[in-house]
Chain A
Amino acid sequence: MLKKIRVIVSIILFALITLYFLDFKGFLPHKFHILAHLQFIPALLAMNVIILVALILITLLFGRVYCSSICPMGIYQDIIAWISKKIIKRKKYTFSKAKSILRWALLGLVVIAYIFGFTFLLGLLDPYGSWGRIVTHLLRPAYLAGNNIMANIFTIFDNYTFYKVSIYGISIFSTIIALVWLLGVGVFAWKNGRTYCNTVCPVGTFLGFISKLSLFKIQFNDEKCNSCGLCAMKCKASCIDSNNKKIDYSRCVVCFNCLESCKRKAMKYAFIGPVKNKIVKTEPAYTYTNDTDSVNPIKSVSKPIDESKRRFLSATIATSIAVGNLVAQEVTGTLLPKKELKRQIPIAPPGAGSFKNLQDKCISCHLCVSKCPSHVIKPALFEYGMNGIMQPKLYFDHGFCNYNCTICGDVCPTEAIKPLSVEEKNHTQMGQVHFIKENCIVYYDETSCGACSEHCPTQAVHMVPYKGALTIPETDVSICVGCGGCEYVCPAIPFKAIYVEGLQTQNTIEIKKEEQQEIVIEGFGF
């Protein structure tokens, strides 16, 4: 029963948050961004006291429910583990000792790095952020491709329920990181269940510590238990030592699989009173199965595996960073124009406030990247410096920031991008326009254009009389919001005549209110 509830809740939450990342048509209500706000690290960074207290209270009461049912990365591992069990029928988990030193060392490293301003590590290891990147960079392109196939089929029958969308590769580095996590965590989950949660994940380590104190716990009923070991075989956290009838509560994610497995009803999930020091009566273990590899569960927990795990972990991280560097070098080497080095400072999404705020808060979950309807947000590489790798920046290859759109700030769970009202957004300057007359079509072709001014929502770029009937752009930086409409649309080749330069700290602009004139038209004029 408990397990059923857990499975249903987990699947619903997992499906919803994943779908919310994928959904580009507003099929799910906008408000569903709350699913991202519920996540632990985002709540912590956003200082969302209500959610934070709630999550800690739940853990203090019931154990690591967060890890079991709310964290999408945790549920992903459960799904992989479930599949592996369907395929490998004889698959069993075995008790292993806690990797306390590794866990605490990693948590310590993350905390110290964060305090010293290197927040990248937190973003890299945060399970929600990792899942966000997996969905954004790996699942989303597939989802969009599926949509396009549907659009093609439906369009044949003159049905326009689906419409085609563009699919862009937006960041090689983030895609590689996402892939490494998907496969790395997936392999661990396939083999050993919740390894990531109980060795690497900083949230897992922290909540594990709290859950030792939780009031409701899985407990052995010593009278009924004959130490058969079935529970330990089902324990994806490998935290049940059935021989000694002990559970490592710091690793238990209260999945209730053990409760279901016990044939003697010798386990219960119940309120734990004042801790009693029980003397454990050891009984000879009796197994229901006669598989050779499970006869001696303790022996099959082989130490060398830990070593290889550790090596694998550090190796994957090291190679992924190395590959990222290589890719970065290649990109800077070939893509940047030789003469005209354009943008010197990246443009942070509207509401980021400052680069500092973005770096302090952003865990690179890329929900903003997925949700931006204009496709103008992508992960940075080194534009913000080492610390801002994978954090969102604006680019105008496929569109420009919609003047009245506030989606990125609305959905951001960490307040790295603060939510803005439309009014506030309209007055937020995230970059400043730069006009290069020599590149302008009106200047060198002496023909009309005005595409930049056409797209400018505040007329920071406006057309002023030039030669004859021609008009040429003029800029007023003080009312520029930095949306990139002008840069996106400028048709000058090979170098655009207008572009937006980013700002370390975003400004508030003042737009003069113009009085509406009363004009009465009585005639036709011809």
Chain B
Amino acid sequence: MDRRNFLKAVALAGAAATSITDSEAMSMLSQSFLTENAANKYDLVAVLGGEPDAMFRKAIAEIGGIGNFIKKGDKVCVKPNIGWDQPVTMGANTNPKLVAEIVKQCFAAGAKEVTVFDHTCDDWRKSYTSSGIEAAAKAAGAKVLPANQESYYKEVSIPNGKNLKNAKIHEAIVDSDKWINVPCLKNHGGAQLTISMKNYMGIVWDRGFFHANDLQQCIADACTYSKRPVLNVVDAYRIMKTSGPRGKSESDVVLAKGLFVSQDIVAVDTAAANFFNQVRDMPLEKVKHIANAQALGLGTMNLDNLKISRIKM
């Protein structure tokens, strides 16, 4: 072994060691977020009737300000849904205005770096462009990362998963200090709804495994990954009520102007599902992954026990 290889090996070993301790530290951190949450005024904030960015500003102020979640010097990853080569008006992807606003707030809170990516379903270049997210996030100062190759993903263990025991997760999440989950609320042919938990499928490489091994269970399993998002921000500005998750035409879309923010992924998805239910009949039992996640102890579907702020703009 020459000197260069030796140094490389040492560096790699060091990196491996730090990433292990990191993830443990992170799981403890995320635990502490949940307890810290009790000190917050609200567990969940729901906003109705504004523009995506304005609603987020209202919501984040209500839940205690972005500084509660993002600290100075943090490497933050913002994970929207950029799954499809569809324009903003289809509501197939997260609203770019919302993504840009979150990126800006992270920087305002002192974030060292903000990354944005998604493992898209349609061609990733087309999806990043058509969604408007690449342009908006870049303008806000974020790094927009590719996620089209397996080599961008790192193997992680998911010990608490029932069917999904390990997965390859995008390095932007694995290497981040904090991450923010920013899904959009949509109908989904298989999972019935796609909200915060289903958005996890965009951080993993092998989605086929999910579909082949009980989709609804794997979605919940993925959410037990030790590094939890510090916030789930559900974009329900435009809701794709039918033909989801891709959509056929604008007749699938309803301008609902909603936004939901919570640290509890089960609660925020329950709230969003109830909101969706007003547009189209969607009983919670059908969206099985929400109950599966509750069973795994990821949060509560019982919204009555939570402190919820409802704001109309």
Residues of A whose CB lies within 8 Å of any CB of B are: 158, 160, 163-166, 373-374, 399, 402-405, 441, 445, 447-451, 453-459, 462-463, 469, 471, 489, 491-493, 511, 513-517, 519, 521, 523-526
Quote the shortest CB–CB distance from B90 to chain A (angstroms): 11
Assess whether A453 is in contact with B123, with CB atoms less than 8 Å apart: no
Look across to chain A and name the residue whose beta carbon is closest to the beta carbon of B212. A491
- Sample of 7 A–B contacts (CB below 8 Å): A402-B122, A404-B126, A451-B190, A455-B121, A463-B189, A492-B212, A519-B279
Assess whether B190 is in contact with A526, with CB atoms less than 8 Å apart: no
Quote the shortest CB–CB distance from B89 to chain A (angstroms): 11
Given contacts A449-B190, A469-B192, A521-B254, contact A457 B246 (CB under 8 A): yes
Assess whether B191 is in contact with A458, with CB atoms less than 8 Å apart: no
Quote the shortest CB–CB distance from B273 to chain A (angstroms): 9
Residues of A within 8 A of B250 (CB): 516
Within B191-218, the residues touching A (CB, 8 Å) are: 191-192, 207-209, 211-217
Complex CA gap A511/B215 in Å reads 30
Assess whether A526 is in contact with B275, with CB atoms less than 8 Å apart: yes
User: Which of B146, B191, B274 is in CB contact (< 8 Å) with A526?
Assistant: B274
Assess whether A158 is in contact with B189, with CB atoms less than 8 Å apart: no
Besides A164-B146, A525-B274, 13 other CB < 8 A contacts?
A160-B144, A163-B148, A402-B122, A405-B126, A448-B192, A469-B192, A471-B190, A491-B209, A492-B212, A516-B253, A519-B241, A525-B276, A525-B278
Interface flags, B27-48, vs A, CB<8A=1, else 0: 0000000000000000000101
Residues of B within 8 A of A471 (CB): 189-190, 192
Residues of A within 8 A of B48 (CB): 521, 524
Complex CA gap A374/B120 in Å reads 12
Residues of A within 8 A of B252 (CB): 514
Given contacts A402-B126, A447-B214, contact A516 B251 (CB under 8 A): yes
Look across to chain B and name the residue whose beta carbon is closest to the beta carbon of A451. B211
Assess whether A491 is in contact with B208, with CB atoms less than 8 Å apart: yes
B interface, over-half SS: mixed
Quote the shortest CB–CB distance from B247 to chain A (angstroms): 9
The reply on B188 being an interface residue by CB < 8 A is yes
Given contacts A164-B148, A454-B189, A524-B274, contact A517 B251 (CB under 8 A): yes
Assess whether B151 is in contact with A164, with CB atoms less than 8 Å apart: yes
Look across to chain B and name the residue whose beta carbon is closest to the beta carbon of A25. B125
Look across to chain B and name the residue whose beta carbon is closest to the beta carbon of A515. B251
The reply on B249 being an interface residue by CB < 8 A is yes
Quote the shortest CB–CB distance from A217 to chain B (angstroms): 50
User: Which of A164, A374, A453 is in CB contact (< 8 Å) with B190?
Assistant: A453
Residues of B within 8 A of A158 (CB): 143
Assess whether B245 is in contact with A454, with CB atoms less than 8 Å apart: yes
User: Which of B125, B212, B246, B270 is in CB contact (< 8 Å) with A441?
Assistant: B212
Look across to chain A and name the residue whose beta carbon is closest to the beta carbon of B252. A514
- For chains A and B in complex, what number of residue pairs have CB atoms within 8 angstroms? 141
Quote the shortest CB–CB distance from A221 to chain B (angstroms): 59
Assess whether B149 is in contact with A450, with CB atoms less than 8 Å apart: no
Assess whether A160 is in contact with B143, with CB atoms less than 8 Å apart: yes
Assess whether A459 is in contact with B209, with CB atoms less than 8 Å apart: no
Given contacts A164-B152, A459-B243, A469-B286, contact A448 B191 (CB under 8 A): yes
Assess whether B212 is in contact with A526, with CB atoms less than 8 Å apart: no
Given contacts A402-B122, A403-B85, A526-B303, contact A163 B146 (CB under 8 A): yes
Residues of A within 8 A of B217 (CB): 447
Given contacts A164-B152, A454-B189, contact A521 B258 (CB under 8 A): yes
User: Which of B125, B144, B152, B212 is in CB contact (< 8 Å) with A493?
Assistant: B212
Quote the shortest CB–CB distance from B255 to chain A (angstroms): 8
Assess whether A524 is in contact with B123, with CB atoms less than 8 Å apart: no
Quote the shortest CB–CB distance from A13 to chain B (angstroms): 27
Complex CA gap A519/B281 in Å reads 13
Given contacts A373-B126, A469-B192, contact A445 B286 (CB under 8 A): no
The reply on B162 being an interface residue by CB < 8 A is no
User: Which of B246, B271, B274 is in CB contact (< 8 Å) with A455?
Assistant: B246
User: Which of B188, B216, B241, B279 is in CB contact (< 8 Å) with A454?
Assistant: B188
Complex CA gap A374/B126 in Å reads 10
Look across to chain A and name the residue whose beta carbon is closest to the beta carbon of B286. A469
The reply on B285 being an interface residue by CB < 8 A is yes
Assess whether B251 is in contact with A453, with CB atoms less than 8 Å apart: no
Interface flags, B233-250, vs A, CB<8A=1, else 0: 000000001011110111
Residues of B within 8 A of A166 (CB): 149
Complex CA gap A456/B126 in Å reads 17
Complex CA gap A526/B270 in Å reads 9
Complex CA gap A403/B122 in Å reads 9
Residues of A within 8 A of B190 (CB): 448-451, 453-454, 463, 471
Residues of A within 8 A of B249 (CB): 513-514
Residues of A within 8 A of B274 (CB): 524-526
Complex CA gap A122/B251 in Å reads 49
Quote the shortest CB–CB distance from A173 to chain B (angstroms): 27
The reply on B277 being an interface residue by CB < 8 A is yes
